[in-house]
Every structure is written in structure tokens, then in C-alpha cells.
Amino acid sequence: MTTKSSQVRNYFKLDLLIARSRVTLCRLFKKRYSLFNNGQVWDDSLTCGTNYVTNVIVKNKKISLTPVQKISVSSGNSDEWDVTTLTTLLLFVDHPKTLSTNEIQQLDQENKLLQQLREIRNKLAHNAIKSVDDAQFNQRWTDLTAILIALGDIDTELDKLKDDSIFESSTQMINDDNVKEALRLNSLATQAHKDGKFSEGITLFTKATVLPGVADHDRAIFFSNMAASRLALYEKQAGPTERFEIEDPMDQRYRALQDAKQARILWSTWWKGHLRVGKVYTALNEHEKAINSFERALALAPTNDDIKKALDESHHILGRQQRQEHLDPESKPKSILEQLNDKKQKFGLNPEEVHKIYKLFREKNPSLADVEKGYKYEHGDNDIKQNYEEAARYFAKAVRQGNAEGMYNLARLTDLGLGVKKDYNLAQNLYEQAAAELPYHSKLYNVRNTGVAEAEHALGLRYAEGVVVNKNLGIAARWYQRAFEHGNIQSGTNLAILYENGSGVIRDLDKAEQIFEQAAKQGDSNAMYKLAILLTRRAKFPMAKIWYDRACKAGHIVAQADRGFEEDLQAKDNIISSFPPDTLPMMDKLFELYSSVKSTTSASTAMNGSDFYDYYMLLEHANCVPYSPPEDFIIKTVDTWTPTDADRIHLEPTQGRRNSHGRSETRYKNGSFRQVLKWDRSLGQYGDGNNAFREPNSVAWLESSKIAVVDTNAHCIKVFHSETGQFEYSFGRGRTLGCQNLLYPYRIAVVPGGNDELVVIQRHPRPQIHVFSCSGEFIRRFGQHLEKPRALTVDQSHRIIVIESQVQKLHIFSLDGKILSFFHLNEHLQFPTSICSNNYEIFISDNHLHTIKVFSYSGQLIREIKEANYITYPTNIKLNSKGQLITIDNHQGLNITVYDEYEQKKRLGAYTARICHSQILDVAIESNSNILHLASKDYRVYTYQLPL
């Protein structure tokens, strides 16, 4: 555990502290039970638990327990209750009216502490990365210990949990004979499990767990193995389809949960223990708790694929359950023929016109026939038996022809494991490919390119739920917006929910109502029902009733089952009607306020917290998915470069503007003085074509006076003359599997030495390295084992150096693709953004640590370059021919800082752009000069000259 970052250790210290609170809460519960029941004692018996459930829990509507929690209470054994169960019972069980004033005051004080404890526990549980910085840790530790001491815990005992020594194996009296016997029993039990003799295995594991003088870590392994055998026994007894809600403490799933939790208690930092708990919760269909356990396991073993797969699976299932997909009649995508039939109904087209148009589509796109076949095999038809494997085969055939509908449907089957092996990563790749296609087939008939909007919606769900990608509601909102604009009604409903709750976007009930209404008018029954609920909250009762009735008529099952909706509506209307007319506006606001029980967080507030992904973290995802341009951008083909006056190239380098005293203009910015620069020239704009970019993610300068620009969403490299900006050629375009083609190229570097060979890395969905000649001829590719390549450089010895984000792994390759070495740098890096080398040292910028770290070629940290106010959020670094370090910082605009060539300790210059650029994505520097070319998020490449 000492190898883990201090932030992860902080999380698990807090987790252990909360786990310790369980003992204090048990003691408090038994004390209250005796107080509320005339001195009766809670004896942890089955009779005690059964009577409590019958007489207290069932009759109290405020107490909400999961089936597992209810079973644990009914068993009577308080040792099996978790912190959530105990706080629920303590907070919501009604006290008798016979209590004295002092006793009631004491209960109120305790309940305030319990509520605070619950809030801290919930924040910790919903911390997806299981990482807490030192400031938060110290504050939460202080709050927690104060609560526990007030509830009767001992402060000196709590202090012991703050030391790193708690993660080490405790000193125990070991009986060597018993250890040997326990290991023998474990081996026999494991073999019995493999042979399918699960009951026998459980018996043997049980014998191993009760032997005294055995180390806790060994016992944790025995308990974890026993939990696996209990789950296997349940699966065998239940069969492939029979699944029942847990009703009995003797249910093997419940007993497996107790075993797995015991393993976790005995070895709190063993990733397999947390993984086992998560798998048991999955079997119990409690995926929210499973996700929490899987996230803990992943924090302890961040590169483990088994954990990632289990986490993705639970996110996926939980999302589908919460969306109630099986109840949504709009969930099935509409084919082109179905869209045309809809237009026939809407515009009165006759059947002959519809078939004529459809025939035209099929002639222009033969892959439609494969998609049709795929649908028939997926659902079955008059002359075709349902066969998912055949459906997948036909969809794959359409994919090879570039059909977006085929891509989306194959992704959907891959997501569900129907006809193909379940693979969330492959599904993600297919969704991204489909989303990159044009959204409409024809301007004449305005028919959607089926599969594009559906894929965009699926990507929104991925980011909303955290499947494969990091959960991020801000990015989810962007995908929902795109999908809704391209005709996916469900995305509109989801987007409106985000605006209603202030999740990932700034809370805006007017906008939520507007989007709900747009989706509802397009026929989404879910939007109708959600709109009715929102209108009720906003005291707009007549329209709420109209939309509720429409939702029921449209077949929305949840609305139809909500029998209390109309009664609630009438009751609220009666309250409003009883007030004078001049008070109605105030009453509307009160209804809106008190109906909004769920707490929300605006985007501006949320981004100030360290647990929220900031703008630079969004960039990490933006590199994996196509960028959504601002609303005022229009995609247009531009083959001739005709710069406007504002963008016209100035071949004479412009110096910084001078003031009346003859000195260059300076600005005091973020605590630093910087000389103001104006760019010399720029090229590009948003769009398709030779002189436009879809996403210029990287740029490199060639000795032949050319600049090569990586256009990620156009899947190609575009080469321009560095002085005139004239387009010369492009290569790598295409999304087929051919080795000469590129799929989402991300970063580019030039091989030093005059030949101008280009090294390109691709990121998600198919990370790898390509090498091209300067003219674009493919030479080789390698590095398919890479996961999240973030940046690369090529040194004077022609070694290719790649740094990966998230896993923080450094790779060094030879130019022919041989792996020379690799190092894990988790201890030193959090969010690497750029890399460069002087042939004996490797420089890596870290955006989150606000620093540049220098490593040897053996992976050892040599030194660190930090300067407050000058290196804040470094995104790009380069070494010029003199060895001077140039840093690019995007904190509140473009900032450039230059350090000297001698260990980069002396600052030579600090500059800022006169205009506020969009995010700078990459920088290239011309050799033997101080001319910089910067690729920007506003689809341009800017050229600056540094006055060094």
C-alpha cells in the first residue's frame, strides 16, 4: 500500500475510520433500543430481529432498506449491519412520546451528528476515483473524529488509524502447524470448487477460517474463496434463468456477502477483497454498491482489466435499469424505410413515392441491404429465424462499407453480448466511428443518416454512466445536445433532465421545460411524463394535467402506473386556489423551491472542487471523441485559402507594441509580469477541405520549411508551407483497417536528422504508432499495446518516447518499433500533458501538479521545474536548438515562459497573447529560430515569434 499515492492512502484511512464507526453506532442502537422499549435488551437473536422488522420497520414508511439490509436486520445479528443500515435505523425510527425533555434533546444532538456522519460517508462513497487530497483529508478527518468522539469513541484509538502503518501486516502470534493445515484445506477446497463440488469446498474453506494462529491476510483469502464458492453454489441451484429476491439469511448470496465483507475487514487494502464484495453485490442486483466496491478495487489496482470489465458491466446495467429501457417504446432506432414511412404519414406521400425514394437510397448505398438483413436476423421475420450471430455478421458487413447504421447496430449487439462476445471497448470504438459520420443522407429529403444520432446518444449515456470512459456529465450533455439536434428525441429528454437537476450544466428550469416540450411534441412519451412532473413542481397545473394525460395515452407505463399523480395535482391546486391572486407568483416560487428536494450543483460551482473534472480534464476526453463546435460554426468545404483581413499573413515578424516610453507593452497577469505578443500569421478555419480543420490536435515543423498538422476528426495529416500557408498535400485519410490509414490521429513528431520522417500516435479507439516519410508514404506501425498515449517526442538518437496519461507509463521505442524500456511514473505524475528530450534527459509537463518534471532515461526523477504564477497549468513544452525550455500555459489565455539551457533554473522571458486564444493543443518550434506554430482549439494554426 505504501506504493500507492498519498491521495489513495488518504481515502482508505477515511474509509477505515468510517468502518470503525460501525461499532460505535451498534452500541448507540442497542442503547436506544433499550430506552425505547422499557429496558429490553437487544440480544442479537433471530427472534429479536424478526420482531423488530415486523413491528417497527414495516410500519415506518420513512425507513427505506434494501432487501439485503432488511435480511441483515431480521437476522438479529448487529455485527452484520453496515454503517448505512445503522444510520438509517437510528435516524428514522420514531421515539416514544414518554421520553423526557432531556432525553429528547440528547436524541436531537445525536441525530445531528449522525446526519453529518452520513453526509461524509456518502461523499466518500461517491468519490469515483477513491482519492482525497491532503487538505480535504485533514478537514474530513477532523470532522469525523469530532463526531465519533462525541458519540463515545476514544480519541487515542482514532489517532492510530491516521498512520501509514495501518496498511502494514499486523504483528500476530502465528501457529506454523495451523498455517500448514489451513493452506492444505484451502488447496483441497479450491480443487473441490474447480470440480464443481461447491458444498464440499465451502466446508473445507470454513475449517480453514476457524483455525487459530493464522495470519489475517491468509484468512482473508480463505473467506474470499468461500464467497466465490457460495456464489457458484447459488448459480448451480438457481439455474440459468431462475433468480429470486433475497428473503432468507441462509440464502447463499447473503452468506457470500458476509464472507466477502469479512475478507475485506481482515485485509482492507487487498484489491481482490473489494472485487469479491462487488461481485456479490452484482449477484444481488445491487449495482450501485457493486460500483463502489469495484472503484475501491480499481484504486488499489488501476491497471487490472478484470476490475475495469466488472465496473463497466455494473455501470451499464445500472444505467439501463435507471433509464427503464424495457418500458420505453421509443428505444428502437428507425431505419431509413421507417423514416420515409413516417414522412408519408406526415406529408401525405403516396406509397409509390416512398418506395421510389427508398430505391434511390439503396442504389446509392448498397450496404442498406446488409443492414436490412441484419434487422431481420436480429428480430426474426416470416421466412427468417432469429439468429443474433447472423445479424452481427450482416451488420459487420455494412460496417466495412462505412454504413453508420451498421456501426451503431453492431455496437449495440456488442454492448449486450448478442451474437458476438460482449466487449464494451469495441462497442465504444464503433459508437465513435458512427458518430463521426455525416448526420444526414440528403438535403433534398432531409433524411437522417440512421446510426449517427443514435451513436451520439449512446456516447452521451457512456459519459453519464462512466462505462469505459470516466463519468462526466458535462461531456454527456454535449453528446446529448448533438444527438438531439440530429434527431434523437431521447437525447433531448436526457438533456432536459440535466438542466432540471443542474448536473454537468448550470441549472435552468426554463430551458429544461423548453427541451422537454420539444421532445414531447416529437412524440417521446417519457418527455411528456417528465414535463408533467416539472410543470407540477412549477405550479403550472392545467398544462401538467394535459401532458400527463398525453403520456398515459401514448402508452408510458410508469405514467399509467402513477395513480397518485392526479390526486397530488388536485391537492396542490387546492392549496394554490385558497390564496389571494396577488400572492400566486410567490406561491409558484415556493412550490418550485420545496418540490426540488434533490440538491444540485451548478457547473461553475462544481468545477471549483478537486473531485470534479476541470477544463483540462475535459480535454483528456476531447482527445478521444469528436469535438462539438460552437453553434455559430457551419461546416463548409474550403479548398482555396482566402484569409480575411483579420487573418491575413504578415511575413514581416511584428514586435511587441511599444508604449510612449519606448518599451514593449507588458501586463500583470495572475501574479506575473508578461510581455504582450501579437501573432504574426494564422491559417485554417473550421470545416472540411484542404485549408480547413475538423480538429487540429497537433503540429510539427519540418526541415523542408513545411508544417504538418494533425486533423484528428478528418483522420489525416495536412502539410502546408510554413511561410506562405499554402496547402501542399495530405495523407492518412480514411477509417478502414488498412495500415496506411489513420483513425483519430492525435500527436505528431519529426525524426531529427534531415529526412523529415514523421511519427504519429493514434489515441482511442485504436492506440498505436505510425511512421511515415515526409511525403506521406507509410513505413511501419507498432505500439498496439498502448492504452492512453498522451504525448510523444523523438530525440537526436531517433528514440521515440511516449508518455501515457491515466496509467502514467513512459515508453521508449527504437525507430523500427522495438521496445527499449518502459517505466511506471504513478508516483511522480498525475496528468501528463507534453514531453520533450535533450537526448539525455526527458522533460514531462504535468497540468495538475503545475510543474515540469525531468527524468533520466532509466526512469529516475532528476529534478523538478516549478515557479509560482509562471508555470500554472502547463499544456505543452519544447526545447529549442539552444536547449532553452519553452512552456505553453493556457491559464486564462495563452502564456509562454522561457527558461535557460542550464537546468532551466533561470527565466529568460515571459509572454502573453494580446488576444484570448482558445485552448492551445500543441506547439512546434522551428530549428535555429524562435518561431512557434501553435495549433488552437478554434481550428487555426497561429505563428508567433519570440523576441529572445
405-444 residue pLDDT tens? 999 999 999 998 999 999 988 999 899 889 888 887 654 4
Structure confidence at residue 659 (pLDDT): 39
Residue located via cell numbers 429470486: 244
Decide if pLDDT at 707 tops 90: yes
**φ/ψ of residue 908, rounded to 5:** -95, -25
| Element of type H or E holding 817 | none
Tell me, yes or no, whether 150 lies in a domain. Answer: yes
pLDDT at 913: 85
**Better-scored residue on pLDDT, 575 or 527:** 527
Same domain, residue pair 4 and 146: yes
CB 825 within 8 A of CB 831: no
The pLDDT tens digits of the residues spanning 81-98 come to 999 999 999 999 998 989
List pLDDT tens digits, range 782-840.
998 898 899 999 999 999 999 998 889 999 999 999 999 999 998 899 999 999 999 99
pLDDT reported for residue 860: 92
Q: How far apart are CA 789 and CA 803, in angstroms?
A: 6
- Rounded to 10 deg, the angle between the 67-74 and 252-266 helix axes is 90
How far apart are the C-alpha atoms of 262 and 246, rounded to whole Å? 20
Looking at the chain, how many residues does it have?
Answer: 948
Residue 577 belongs to a domain: no
Q: Is 853 domain-assigned?
A: no
If one counts the domains in the chain, the total is 3
Per-residue pLDDT at 618 exceeds 70: no
Q: Which tops the pLDDT comparison, 689 or 918?
A: 689
Q: Which residues contact 59 (CB under 8 A, 6 or more apart)?
A: none
Same domain flag for 155 and 189: no
**Percent of the chain residues past pLDDT 70, beyond the cut:** 82
**212, 109: one domain:** no
Average the pLDDT over 125-141 and give the result: 89
> Is the distance from CB of 295 to CB of 129 less than 8 angstroms?
yes
Is the Cβ–Cβ distance between 679 and 688 less than 8 Å? Answer: no
The CA-atom distances, in angstroms, between 464 and each of 324, 408, 413, 437, 625 are: 15, 18, 20, 22, 15
Residues 661, 667, 672, 677, Cα dihedral to 10°: -100
pLDDT value of position 629? 35
Lowest-confidence segment of 262-266, 268-272, 355-359, 398-402 by average pLDDT: 355-359
pLDDT score at 448? 78
Of 141, 167, 193, the domain-final residue: 167
Domain holding 878: CATH number? 2.120.10.30
The answer to whether residues 180 and 163 belong to one domain is no
Question: Of 104, 135, 167, which residue sits at a domain end?
Answer: 167
Please check whether residue 703 lies inside any domain of the structure.
no
* Per-residue pLDDT, 608: 32
Domain shared by 142 and 195, yes or no:
no
- Tell me the mean pLDDT in the region 633-653: 32
> Contact at 8 Å (CB) between 246 and 68?
yes
Q: How confident is the model at residue 137 (pLDDT cuts 50, 70, 90)?
A: very high
Model pLDDT for residues 715-753, shown as the tens digit of each residue: 899 999 988 889 999 998 754 444 567 888 999 999 988
Looking at the structure, do residues 113 and 193 belong to the same domain, yes or no? no
Residue 361 is predicted with a pLDDT of 63
* Residue 816 belongs to a domain: no
Q: Are the C-beta atoms of 732 and 760 separated by less than 8 Å?
A: yes
Count other Cβ atoms within 10 Å, centred on residue 434.
28
pLDDT at site 289: 92
Q: What is the DSSP letter of 658?
A: B
Is 23 contained in some domain? yes
120, 202: one domain: no
Answer whether residue 396 is part of any domain. Answer: no
Give the pLDDT confidence score for residue 358 in this predicted structure: 61
Q: Between these two residues, 259 and 930, which has the higher pLDDT value?
A: 259
Residue range(s) defining the domain that contains residue 655 = 649-678+873-947
| Amino acid (1-letter code) at residue 864 | E
How would DSSP label each residue in 204-227? Answer: HHHHHHH-TT--HHHHHHHHHHHH
183, 258: one domain: yes
pLDDT at 227 > cutoff 80: yes
pLDDT of residue 257: 95
Strands 907-913 and 672-677 come out as parallel
- pLDDT of the residue at 261: 94
Task: Identify the weakest region by mean pLDDT among 644-648, 680-684, 821-825.
Answer: 644-648
Mean pLDDT value of segment 902-915: 83
SS3 track for 549-576: HHHHHCCCHHHHHCCCHHHHHHHHHHHH
CA atoms of 584 and 701, how far apart (whole Å): 67
Is 712 within 8 Å of 746 (Cβ atoms)? yes
CA-to-CA dists, residue 219 to 240, 672, 731, angstroms: 31, 58, 60
Q: Could you say which DSSP state residue 686 is in?
A: B
Residues 52 and 196 in one domain: no
With contact defined as beta carbons under 8 Å apart, do 836 and 884 qualify? no
Q: How far is CA 785 from CA 743, 749, 817, in A?
A: 16, 20, 12
Q: What pLDDT score was predicted for residue 580? A: 61
Question: Predicted confidence band at 331 (pLDDT cuts at 50, 70, 90)?
Answer: low
Query: Does residue 904 fall inside a structural domain?
Result: yes
181 and 198 share a domain?
Answer: yes
What integer pLDDT is reported at residue 106 of this predicted model?
A: 93
Task: Provide mean pLDDT across the span 671-698.
Answer: 85
* Of the candidates 248, 183, 177, the residue with the CA atom closest to the CA atom of residue 213: 177
**Axis-axis angle for helices 305-323, 271-283 (nearest 10):** 30
- Helix, strand and coil percent figures for the chain, each rounded to 5: 45, 15, 35
Contacts for 905 with CB less than 8 Å, ≥ 6 apart: 865, 899
Listed residue (803, 751, 760, 794) closest to 780, CA to CA: 760
- Portion of the chain with pLDDT greater than 90, in percent: 46
609 confidence band (pLDDT: 50, 70, 90):
very low
What are residue 304's phi and psi, to 5 degrees? -80, 120
CATH number of domain containing 262 = 1.25.40.10
* Same domain? 152 vs 199: no
Residue of 889, 900, 947 lying closest to 923 (CA atoms): 889
pLDDT reported for residue 442: 53
Q: Rounded CA gap, 636 and 639, in Å?
A: 10
| Three-class secondary structure of residue 22 per DSSP | helix
Placement of cell 462505462 in the chain: 467
Q: What angle do CA 112, 117, 120 make, to 5 degrees?
A: 130
Domain boundary among 125, 143, 167: 167
C-alpha cell read off for 815: 525507430
Q: Are residues 218 and 145 in the same domain?
A: no
CB 643 within 8 A of CB 649: yes
Output the average pLDDT for the chain.
Answer: 82
More confident residue, 846 or 904: 846
Residue 731 backbone dihedrals phi, psi, to 5 degrees? -155, 165
pLDDT at 354 over 70: no
Average pLDDT over residues 474-487: 91
Residue-level pLDDT at 653: 32
Cα 292 from Cα 302, distance rounded (Å) = 14
Count CB atoms within 10 A of the CB of residue 645. 5
